[in-house]
Amino acid sequence: MSNGQQTETFLMEVTHVFTREEAKAALWHIFELFNNDKHDLVTEEMASCIELQHTKVLSKTDKSFLRMWAYAVGNSRVLGLLETSPDDLESYSWTEMIGKPMLELSSLKSEHTPWMNEKYCLVEKGEYHLMQSKFEQLFTMIEDQKKRTCDSQLHMQIRLAELSEEISVVKRDLESVKQQNAEIIQLLNGVPEPDVPEDPVFTRLRKDRESQPYHFRK
């Protein structure tokens, strides 16, 4: 087998499961001091082994002890882990991708180990690159959609500005018309009403009546 074949790797998705019993066993030296009221003997170096999988599965009582100690010494790292571990879990699981030599893959195949089960998912390098390519395409599509959205928003802003200018012009025209109407009304109010000529028949009757003595008028 060549050196190139020996250095080739594949990616294995491994699921880890961590239990409360495992956490207590890993941190027994710390909680033994807590239980004996010797919090001041717990050092920063001792607490450096505390990780997220520990705080995820600790009991509420153990978390309280650990939180009081972290507050007292100002250990922000442990406080941060506790903040992200509010649930009362008996076990905690997480997955990660681990690179394995291709030689191990051949061994797994020869032993008829399932390629996919509840804990392992084998991804060959070619499949990984294909997934990576699809991810890059998806990212490009998202960026293109974002650009289109920005262009659409810019077009809308320009159109709104144009409409605002058109509305301003209409308002100015209305004000001008109102002013002209007011001037016309003012002119009409200042012109006296024209005299209407009296009917000739009534004029003659009126004059005849006025020419008669007063006691003959009816």
The 10s digit of each residue's pLDDT in 144-170 is 776 777 777 777 777 777 877 888 778
Is the pLDDT at 188 greater than 80, yes or no?
Answer: no
Residue 50 to residues 28, 43, 75, 148, 151, Cα–Cα distance (Å): 11, 12, 12, 47, 50
In the predicted structure, residue 31 carries a pLDDT above the cut 80: yes
Does the pLDDT value for residue 21 go beyond 90? yes
Distance CA 61, CA 105 (A): 44
Cβ(69)–Cβ(39) below 8 Å: yes
What are the respective helix, strand and coil percentages of the chain, to the nearest 5? 65, 10, 20
Instruction: Supply the pLDDT for residue 156.
Output: 79
**Taking the domains of the chain in order of start, what are their residue ranges?**
14-125
Integer Cα distance of 101 and 104 in angstroms: 6
For the four alpha carbons of 108, 113, 116 and 120, in that order, the dihedral sign comes to: negative
Can you give the pLDDT at residue 124?
45
pLDDT at 213 (0 to 100): 59
Q: Which residues contact 12 (CB under 8 A, 6 or more apart)?
A: 97, 98, 99, 100, 120, 121, 122, 123
**Token representation of residue 37:** 């009221």
CA–CA separation, 15 vs 97, rounded Å? 9
Q: Which of 75-79, 132-136, 205-209 ranks highest by mean pLDDT?
A: 75-79
Q: What are phi and psi of 116, to 5 degrees?
A: -135, 130
pLDDT greater at residue 138 or residue 79 = 79
φ, ψ dihedrals at 139, nearest 5° = -60, -40
Query: Quick check: 106 pLDDT over 60?
Result: no
Q: How many CB atoms lie within 10 A of CB 40?
A: 10
**Residue 175: predicted pLDDT:** 83
3-state DSSP assignment of residue 58: coil
pLDDT at 107: 54
> At 135, is the secondary structure helix, strand, or coil?
helix
The pLDDT value recorded for residue 174 is: 81
pLDDT of residue 77: 94
| Cα distance between the two ends of the chain | 149
Q: Among 48-52, 92-96, 98-102, 127-131, which is the least confidently predicted range?
A: 127-131
More confident residue, 194 or 65: 65
**66-83 mean pLDDT:** 94
